[in-house]
Amino acid sequence: MELVEELRERQAALEKVAVKRDLDAIVVVGNCAVGPECYGSFRYFADHRSYYYLHALVVRPGKKITICVGSILHKDGILLKGFEDTRFGADVLPSVLKVLAEQPVRRVGVSFEMLPARWENGILEQCPGVELVDVDPDITALRRIHSPYELNCFKKCAQITDIGYEAVCKAAKPGVKMSDLHAALDYAMYHAGAEETFTKMSCGVFSAENNGLPRMERFHWPDERVIKDGDNIAMSISAKYCGYWTQQVRIICVGEKTAEAEAAYNIQQEALQDAAAFLSPGIKLGELVSRMWKFAEDHGYRASLPFGHVVGLDLDEGGDGLNSDIELIENTVVVLHPTLLPEGEENCFFWGDTYLITRDGAVRLNESSTELLSV
């Protein structure tokens, strides 16, 4: 019941956006890909997971919300949540166009970040003279105001990534394949209640003399490499619970720690502590990133993105650019993971956690060890 009531409040807030922006309708399109801030908007208003399809909803001031889905199974799932006007069609776009045609529209709100070109052309052809208005900033603003229900989801999700990290620490040892380590991580998190996981992982030696720890890139997946004594295992552990993401980033040492790893770890911890102390409602994300960037350089390291991001129904709800003007308000949830590169090296030392911004400062949601562990 709590979630149903919350959905009704979210939809009422979206209807107010339509009235404020003088819109005859708002079309929200989305799916559950791991993407930027706009993918999760459909789920935010409908609480429905959709894969392989772009589903949509149409909001009109004073009218019942209409949900358009591309599968009869999805339609059944939507009806179970109490939505009265649910349209089904193998191609969702014709259903949306039919809903819009039921009453004349002058101005229609859309997210240009998410709206496919075919959908844009279809709306313009179906509704001659219509003006499409970007409401992505309005929806993003709604999604950043987290309720007690959402905060509980974040906290549970952080516990799940803690459990995953603990499983990695138990399974990591010489002779284990990276793919098996990934399997142990995923099993632990799914067993703990994860809806979905997203992990990047690499291994190698973090040392000035024999530096083989790869930099964590966008598509760095676990593979068939075998862990050796002296390796460092870097991992970005992400999990989703009831739609909400959290993330923690860790490096563990297999065998003896190198002096370079310990030195980088110590600076990383100082950088995170400084950033967490700076986190408070009202600061801009760019200010936070700039602070971490300067801290790294002041301590003899080259800074490199990524440094962190806002999380929610999307894993990245606001990137970590130095010029980001995203205002961090109370109950914003952010991941901090400054990237430190020793001078002359292209590898990095990567570490971080998920934090909740409160009126009294930042609270770390992860409870796993912040020590540089040796296994």
Tokens for 203? 């291994």
Quick one: CATH architecture of 148-364? Alpha-Beta Complex (3.90)
Give me the pLDDT at residue 1, please. Answer: 53
| Dist. CA 112–CA 109, nearest whole Å | 9
Q: Which fold has domain 2-143?
A: Creatine Amidinohydrolase; Chain A, domain 1 (3.40.350)
Return the higher-pLDDT residue of 303 and 121.
121
The residue count of the chain comes to: 375
User: ω before 306 within 30° of 0 (cis)?
Assistant: yes
The confidence band for 278, taking pLDDT boundaries of 50, 70 and 90, is very high
Q: Is 198 helix (H, G, I), strand (E, B) or coil?
A: strand
User: Is pLDDT of 307 > 60?
Assistant: yes
User: Is pLDDT of 217 > 60?
Assistant: no
Tokens for 246? 């959290």
Nearest by Cα to 264 from 335, 207, 344, 346: 207
> For residue 354, what are the β-bridge partners?
335
CATH 3.90.230.10 segments of the chain: 148-364
The confidence band for 289, taking pLDDT boundaries of 50, 70 and 90, is confident
The confidence band for 210, taking pLDDT boundaries of 50, 70 and 90, is low
Each residue's pLDDT tens digit, 34-92: 666 678 899 999 988 876 678 899 999 999 899 988 888 777 878 878 788 989 888 99
> For residue 112, what are the β-bridge partners?
none
Q: Which amino acid is at 361?
A: G
Tokens for 151? 């905060």
Give me the pLDDT at residue 214, please. Answer: 57
- Asked if residues 51 and 30 have their Cβ atoms less than 8 Å apart, the reply is no
Nearest by Cα to 50 from 66, 35, 69: 69
Residue 263 CA from chain centroid, whole number: 30
Average pLDDT, the chain: 88
Helix pair 285-298, 259-278: axis angle to 10 deg: 150
> For residue 323, what are the β-bridge partners?
none
Average pLDDT, stretch 91-97?
94
> For residue 67, what are the β-bridge partners?
57, 86
| Dist. CA 38–CA 97, nearest whole Å | 21
Nearest by Cα to 202 from 132, 141, 249: 249
The confidence band for 331, taking pLDDT boundaries of 50, 70 and 90, is very high
> For residue 334, what are the β-bridge partners?
310, 355
Q: Characterize the bridge pairing of strands 55-59 and 66-69.
A: antiparallel
| Cβ neighbours, 10 Å, residue 269 | 14
CATH 3.40.350.10 segments of the chain: 2-143
- In the block, which residue shows the tokens 């632990």? 188
| Dist. CA 354–CA 282, nearest whole Å | 18
Sign of CA dihedral 111, 114, 119, 124: positive
